[in-house]
Structure 1
Amino acid sequence: MKILSRNQSGAMDSDEKLYAVTLESKNPPAAHGLDEVDLALLAELAGNARITGAALAKRVGVAESTCAKRLQLLRDRGVITGFTTQMDLAALGHPIQAVIAVRLASHNRDHVLRFHDTLTAIPGVLTVFHVAGENDYLLHVAVTSPEQLRDLVLDHINVHPGVRHTETQLVFSVMPGAGIFAGR
């Protein structure tokens, strides 16, 4: 597969335009302008983000230079937003995980935006979901003890004047789902 390039003025020459039309007619872009190569790269990375560029290129069937350029373009476009490391939280001294549902009394835009900053700054908060429905937020937290969980709720969430209600649920286990590339 050939990656299209433009000359210094940004224009494609006539041969490239013909190739672009041919490429588009044979392989129409998938969702959000991603083609099959992009989706294949993302599927491989979803399964193993530590794969080397050479191994990734080989698995997808493209040249290493093509692979590197495509990955850079995916980062530049904001499709790839980062890489994470999964850790055993219990081994790090945080054996208790919980999901805390938060309901606000008011939905004034300024209050909500300030509350976002408050939630993301709380020590022990792993993920904040701003959701629709009966609750306004779901927080996934990891703490060292039941007392620390209590203090997190009382000292960091319930003290906020906009909070009407919280409900805490202990997490017994976390299991990854199939993901968006399952069956691909």
Structure 2
Amino acid sequence: MKNEIDSKDIQILRLLLNNARLSNKEIAAQIGIAQSSTHDRIKKLTQRGYFKGAYVQIDQKKLDLNIEVLLAIKLNKQHRSIIADFREKASQLPGVIQLFHMAGNNDFILHLGVKDSDELRGFILDRLSTLDYIQSTETTMVLHNERVNNIL
């Protein structure tokens, strides 16, 4: 699929990966092509499925979410219905930033933002412990989170 795109398309992807709010005019100026060409290229990239969505990175501290954790979860059963149920429920829980379904020692990792340790304890005891298919959890605190976009 990569042969469907050229170096200008890759430049567009890089720019949007780092700032999805760039206008066609700004992108065109940065890569040296016409705005109409930029528009057409973005439309084609969209139609070909290169974009899964556009995201805003929020400063969690402004929302009083002072602690970030990675919460590793091990299930006691590996059934499609249980995995689907957990994915659905976990994605609805307040504070969940990202959900990862994993291979290895843990089945899921939740990236979570919480106000304080009391909120984290409540999340684990009041929300996760009600799910009878969770075998164990392990919490790791994030000291620094930096988005690095070096995939292209």
Fold match by TM threshold 0.5: yes
Task: Pick the aligned partner of 1:162 from 133, 139, 142.
Answer: 133
The gaps in structure 2 that reach 5 residues or longer are none
CA-CA distance at 1:113 after TM superposition:
0.9
Q: Which is bigger in relative contact order (C-alpha 8 A, separation at least 6)?
A: 2
Give, in whole Å, the separation in 1 of the partners of 2:3 and 2:73: 33
Give, in whole Å, the separation in 1 of the partners of 2:95 and 2:144: 17
CA-CA distance at 1:52 after TM superposition:
2.0
One-letter identity of the residue aligned with 2:130:
V
Query: Quick check: 1:50 aligned with 2:30?
Result: no
One-letter identity of the residue aligned with 1:34:
I
Greater displacement, 97-106 / 87-96? 87-96
One-letter identity of the residue aligned with 2:100:
F
CA contact (8 A) 1:158 1:166 kept: no
CA-CA distance at 1:31 after TM superposition:
2.0
Task: Pick the aligned partner of 1:84 from 51, 55, 60.
Answer: 55
One-letter identity of the residue aligned with 1:106:
K
Q: Which structure has the larger Rg?
A: 1
The SS at the match of 1:166 is strand
1:100-115 correspondence runs (5 A):
100-115=71-86
CA contact (8 A) 1:119 1:125 kept: yes
The gaps in structure 1 that reach 5 residues or longer are 1-29
Q: Deviations over 1:163-182 (max 9, x none)?
A: 1110011111112235213x
Greater displacement, 138-147 / 74-83? 74-83
Give, in whole Å, the separation in 1 of the partners of 2:26 and 2:80: 47
Identity %: 30
CA-CA distance at 1:77 after TM superposition:
2.5
Task: Pick the aligned partner of 2:33 from 62, 80, 89.
Answer: 62
CA contact (8 A) 1:120 1:128 kept: yes
Q: Deviations over 1:48-88 (max 9, x none)?
A: 32322112112222221111111122222221122222221
The RMSD of aligned alpha carbons is 1.6
Give, in whole Å, the separation in 2 of the partners of 1:39 and 1:100: 34
TM-score by length of 1: 0.76
Query: Quick check: 1:132 aligned with 2:92?
Result: no
One-letter identity of the residue aligned with 2:38:
C
Match of 1:146 in 2: 117
CA contact (8 A) 2:68 2:113 kept: yes
Match of 2:12 in 1: 41
One-letter identity of the residue aligned with 1:137:
F
Give, in whole Å, the separation in 1 of the partners of 2:107 and 2:135: 10
Give, in whole Å, the separation in 2 of the partners of 1:76 and 1:144: 40
Gap change, CA 1:139 and 1:70, over 3 Å in 2: same
Query: For this pair of structures, how many residues does the alignment match?
Result: 152
After TM superposition, what 4+ stretches of structure 1 lie above 6 angstroms from structure 2? none
